[in-house]
Amino acid sequence: MVDANARPAFGRAALRVFDLGLGQMLWSRRTVFMALIAGGPVLIAALLRALASLPTFDAGAGQIGGRAVSLDGPDIFGLMIWTFYLRFTVPVLGVFYGTALIADEVEDRTITYLFTRPVARGAVLAGKYLAYLACTAVVVLPSVTIVYFLVVPLLGGSIGRNFPALLVDLGLIGAGLAVYGAVFALVGAWFRRSLLTGLVFVFGWEPLVVVLPGYMKYLSVAYYLQGLAPHAMPQGDALSVIQALLTSVQTPLATWVNLAALALIWTVALAAAMRAVERREFVLGQ
């Protein structure tokens, strides 16, 4: 007969769910999509590298809009980190995986087996969230590292001198995956049309509020990530315009404020998501 008190603690239960969920998540249909968006920058970087090896390539002095632009490998890498990863890959993966943490189990009708075990439902969400982090990190972070080694040496850039910036970038992308994942886990637990809600947040709300004056920008994740980006953008006029479009106004917040804001968003979103999952009924369709 059973020992009625034998029940794994929250952390252990979350790790068990992580173990169970990681393989399912990694080999899901979304992995193809993730491989495409994480592999895209690598392909572009390889293309740039190939172009740079051509004898006709004019190193250093590009022309944009008829004006001279001083651009080197670290500048291009910084631009790629911001445009490809922080403003696209990270939030998009957050939306697609975060909103599906529980929804996938419901759709596949496997949620029953998890929610009839003697573990808190919050632990199930936490375990799935950890699996999401591992799954995305194991694809995105190597992609960033490969892009770094392909792009930074271009046009006289130094791999060694820019290495600390790579570490900051990796940390920033990890933080972005964590915070966006938590926010969209909450969206997935709260909203019925969670994917649509998430996409509207990423491609509608965030780009809009970070350029608007006032306090609305504080209700975004991108604003705080932007404040932590280590790269100063290239100084050519045309690229300055691009920079202005992409980064909007310069953040006046100190690093610790940005970090504290991200930590707060992460904590509140994850706790609220767990609470929502604990209280919500998941009715499987026939």
Partner 1 sequence: MSPPVIAAHGVSKWYGQVIGLNNVTVSIPPGISGLLGPNGAGKSTLLKLVSGQLKPSQGHVQVLGEPIWGNPKAYRRIGYCPDHDGFYERMTGRDWLTALLGLGGFDDDRAARAAARALDTVGLTDAADRKIGGYSKGMRQRIKLAQAIAHDPELLVLDEPLAGLDPLGRRRVIDVIRAWGREGRSVVVSSHVLHEIELMTSNILLLNNGRILAEGNVHQIRDLIDEHPHTVRITADDPRRLARRLLGYSHVIAMQLQDGAVIAQTNRPDVFYTELTALAAGDEVGAVREVTSPDDNLHAVFSYLVNQ
Partner 2 sequence: MSMNQRTRYVLVGGAGVMAVGLAGGLAAWVSSSLPSLALAQERPDELRYVPPEATILSFANVREVMDSDLRRRLREIQPELDGQREFQERTGIDIERDIDYVVGGLVPDGSDDTTGIAILAGRFDTERLEALALQHGGAASDYQGRRLITIGDESAAMAFLESGVIAIGSEALVKRTIDLPSSGGGVDADDSLMGLLRHVDSGSTAWTVGRLDNPGGGEWLPDQVESQVSQVAAFAIGARVNGGVSGRLTAEARDEETGRNLRDLLQGLLALARLQMGSRPELRGLLDSLRLTSAGANVTLAFDLPADAVLELLPDRPDANAANAP
Binding residues (CB under 8 A) for partner 2: these are 19-20, 22-23, 26-27, 61, 67-68, 70, 72, 74-75, 134, 137-139, 141-142, 145-146, 148-149, 158-161, 163-167, 230-232, 234-235, 237, 240, 250-252, 254-255
Q: Are 277 and 121 in contact (CB under 8 A)?
A: yes
Token look-up 């952390």 returns 11
Which CB atom, from 215 or from 279, has the smaller least distance to partner 1? Answer: 279
- Identify what 56 binds: partner 1, partner 2, none; CB under 5 to 8 Å per kind: none
Q: Please give the sequence-ordered ranges of beta strands (E in DSSP) within 88-178, or none if there are none.
A: none
SS3 at position 150: helix
What would the x/- binding string for partner 1 be over residues 209 to 248, using CB under 8 A?
A: ----------------------------------------
- Identify what 63 binds: partner 2, partner 1, none; CB under 5 to 8 Å per kind: none
How buried is 11 (Cβ within 10 angstroms: 0-12 exposed, 13-18 middle, 19+ buried)? exposed
- Identify what 59 binds: partner 2, partner 1, none; CB under 5 to 8 Å per kind: none
Which CB atom, from 12 or from 161, has the smaller least distance to partner 2? Answer: 161
Cα(215)–Cα(246) distance, rounded to whole angstroms?
19
Which CB atom, from 8 or from 230, has the smaller least distance to partner 1? Answer: 8
What are the structure tokens assigned to 24, written together?
């399912």
Which CB atom, from 61 or from 271, has the smaller least distance to partner 2? Answer: 61
Instruction: Check residue 30 for interaction with partner 1 (CB under 8 A).
Output: no
Q: Are 178 and 267 in contact (CB under 8 A)?
A: no
Instruction: Check residue 103 for interaction with partner 1 (CB under 8 A).
Output: no
Report the nearest approach of partner 2 to the CB of residue 49 (Å).
16
Token look-up 């290495």 returns 163
Q: Quickly count helices (H) and strands (E) in the chain.
A: 13, 2
- Identify what 82 binds: partner 1, partner 2, none; CB under 5 to 8 Å per kind: none
Query: Strand 67-70 and strand 61-64: pairing?
Result: antiparallel
Which CB atom, from 53 or from 116, has the smaller least distance to partner 1? Answer: 116
As a dihedral over the C-alpha atoms of residue 152, residue 158, residue 161, residue 163, rounded to 10 degrees, the angle is: 30
Token look-up 């670290």 returns 74
**Candidates 61-69, 112-120, 144-152, 213-221; binding stretch for partner 1 (CB under 8 A):** 112-120
